[in-house]
Amino acid sequence: MTQHEPQNEPSGEASIDSGEAPVDSGKAPINKPPINKQEPKTIAHRGGANLWPENTLEAFEEAIKLGVHGIEFDLQLSKDGHLMVHHDSHLKPVGTRLDGTYLTAPTPRLDTLTAQQLQAYDVGRLAPDTPEAQRRSQQSPRDGARIPYLNQLEHLSADAAPKGFQLYAELKTDMTPAPAQAEALADAYLAALDVSRVAAMHRVISFDWRCLERVRARRPETNNAYTTLSFASTDPSHARAAQEDPKSKGAAIRAASRNGAPWWGAHDWRDQKGETHGERVLRAIGAAGGQGWIAYWRDVTPDTMAIANELGLKVSAWTVNEAADMKNLAAMGVEALITDRPDRALALHSA
């Protein structure tokens, strides 16, 4: 899904990994509210990226046929202001062909190409003999797949998705200090919702909380959830900090979090009280009035679930791909599993 995505079945796009699950402080456990025993919803991450080419209409159609409860997808702006469904800010060499030939780095940014220009690229097959193709060895290619417009996904959802279906729309930014990109993306998304047939299906999510604040200010009725990087990557006091290359992206993210990262928007975790970094981040979401928490799956523990329940936050876990981990998360009461393997998550309902 996501901005820096450590996974148990890696996507190959992670900029940093998460390390181990956060270590408990050793203090007395929090009094835990009753856990919701409902089976979690299955949300197909990028349409089910280990089964079909990510963020394509072909993947979304297959996921709906499979019976998922929703789809998670990423939104970027084209040069001419169209909302396009694509994860990376640049075209991805390993999964993008032009006239039958895979691109080589450096590739163009999406926002340097018009929507029409983007339609020339085939994103339906991973380059063979690459690490990502090996990691996604079960992926079934769909030659000829194109980068979708948001409204194409919405039309598909309106026509084919069942009642109660959810569209987890992730607004992707570079998370830089200047707010212009976040504002432009949020404004384009708001304009799309104003004319959408399926606005009620949408749940807006983002690592860049400035996007969420802008959407919520004008459309408070739109379902929202605040996405977090792994706590191990944003905790300034985490044990891994001492081992990081000071020039690495991971170190830069940790330093930004320590000093007041722009992506926290108006609700900085440092302004909150709590026994752990994770608790303070969750309380920042609560202070913002967020409805949900999109959590790196290893950050979902009995203690963090208790805090989320206390704050009234619905919890969705990304990106969990192993059946055993799905079962553990279900037992803790998460609302949804965001997964590259929706077939495994759906199997929980029949187990």
The SS3 of residue 34 is coil
Nearby residues of 263 by Cβ (< 8 Å), 6 or more positions away: 173, 175, 207, 208, 209, 210, 256
Q: What is the pLDDT of residues 241-294, one digit of tens each?
A: 999 999 999 999 999 999 999 999 999 999 999 999 999 999 999 999 999 999
CATH 3.20.20.190 fits 41-350, yes or no: yes
Structure token digits, residue 192: 């799309």
pTM for the model stands at: 0.91
Contacts of 92 (CB under 8 A, 6+ apart): 13, 103, 107, 123
Lowest mean pLDDT, pick from 19-23, 129-133, 144-148? 19-23
pLDDT tens digits, one per residue of 288-304: 999 999 999 999 999 99
Lowest mean per-residue pLDDT among 1-5, 77-81, 166-170, 198-202: 1-5
Q: Can you give the residue ranges of every domain in the chain?
A: 41-350
Helix (H, G, I), strand (E, B) or coil at 329: helix
The residue type at 39: E
Report how far residue 274's alpha carbon sits from residue 304's, in angstroms, rounded to the nearest whole number.
Answer: 11
Contact yes or no for 173/206 (Cβ under 8 A): yes
pLDDT tens across 25-38, in order? 333 343 443 444 58
Report the pLDDT value the prediction gives residue 78, as an integer from 0 to 100.
98
Residue 16 has a pLDDT of 29
Q: Residue 1 in contact with residue 236, Cβ under 8 Å?
A: no
Give the tens place of pLDDT for each residue, 55-86: 999 999 999 999 999 999 999 999 999 999 99
Question: CA 347 to CA 66: how far, in whole Å?
Answer: 11
Q: How many CB atoms lie within 10 A of CB 264?
A: 23
Q: Is the dihedral of CA 95, 208, 68, 19 positive or negative?
A: positive
**Bond prior to 342 in cis (omega within 30° of 0):** no
Instruction: Grade residue 349 by pLDDT with cuts at 50, 70 and 90.
Output: confident
Q: How far is CA 248 from the centre of its chain?
A: 22
pLDDT of residue 3: 53
CA distance to 78, 185, 187, 326, per residue, from 181 (Å): 12, 6, 10, 35
Residues 6+ away with beta carbon under 8 Å from 167: 70, 71, 73, 153, 154, 157, 198, 201, 202, 203
Token pair belonging to 279? 């608790």
Residue 7 contacts by C-beta under 8 Å, 6 or more apart in sequence?
14, 319, 321, 340
* Residue 189 and residue 171 in contact, taking contact as beta carbons nearer than 8 Å: yes
DSSP-derived secondary structure for 36-73 = P-SPPEEEEETTTTTTS-TT-HHHHHHHHHHT-SEEEE
Asked if residue 144 lies in contact with residue 124, where contact means CB atoms within 8 angstroms, the answer is: yes
CA dist 58 and 118 (Å) reads 17
DSSP annotation of 118 reads H
| Residue 325 structure tokens | 């981990």
DSSP-derived secondary structure letter, 109: B
Residue 24 has pLDDT above 90, yes or no: no
What CA–CA distance (Å, rounded) separates 342 from 169? Answer: 17
Please answer whether residues 292 and 225 qualify as being in contact, where contact means their C-beta atoms are separated by less than 8 angstroms: yes
